[in-house]
Amino acid sequence: MSTKTKDHEHLGLLSIFYYVLAGITFLTACFPIIHLVAGIGLISGWGAEPGAEEETVMVGWLFASFAGTMILLGWILAFFFFRAGQFLSRRKKHTFCMVMAALACLFVPHGTVLGVLTILVLQRDSVKEMFGVQAPAPPVAD
């Protein structure tokens, strides 16, 4: 098997794995929806005791804002993982793919394996050529 064929196969597999990671990240980010609904319920006065409305509403805003932020950040991250999969399959945006590989390393253990393997594949000179990344010029001797 030639190096080009192996590189194409590896990039294709990495692309698929980033799509899977995006899906898992998206679904995981949906878990705080329970807290978002509870926070909205507290804000609207559901289950509030007489005389404690102000504290209940404040706790509701805390629940809703934190959950909403976590959901939004998770969905954005899932979108970026999805885009990394697209860019890997199209052989575009080498730097973006490297950054997303480093970010994937934070998701232990599967994301770490995926991120490290992606970094190893993207560091190959033959893969850099596929992405159109120019090799740095050799240092000039004095």
How distant, in Å, are the alpha carbons of 17, 21, 28, 126 from that of 107?
13, 10, 12, 28
Helix H or strand E encompassing 127: helix 125-131
pTM: predicted TM-score of the whole model, two decimal places: 0.86
Answer whether 27's CB lies under 8 Å from 33's CB: no
CB atoms within 10 A of CB 133: 13
Q: Say how far apart CA 33 and CA 85 lie, in whole Å.
A: 26
pLDDT of residue 55: 81
**pLDDT tens, residue by residue, 4-28:** 889 999 999 999 999 999 999 999 9
Locus of tokens 């692309």: 15
**pLDDT tens, residue by residue, 86-142:** 999 999 999 999 999 999 999 999 999 999 999 999 999 999 999 998 877 778 776
SS3 assignment for 38-102: HHHHHHCCCCCCCCCHHHHHHHHHHHHHHHHHHHHHHHHHHHHHHHHHHHHHHCCCHHHHHHHHH
**pLDDT tens, residue by residue, 38-65:** 999 988 877 666 666 788 888 999 999 9
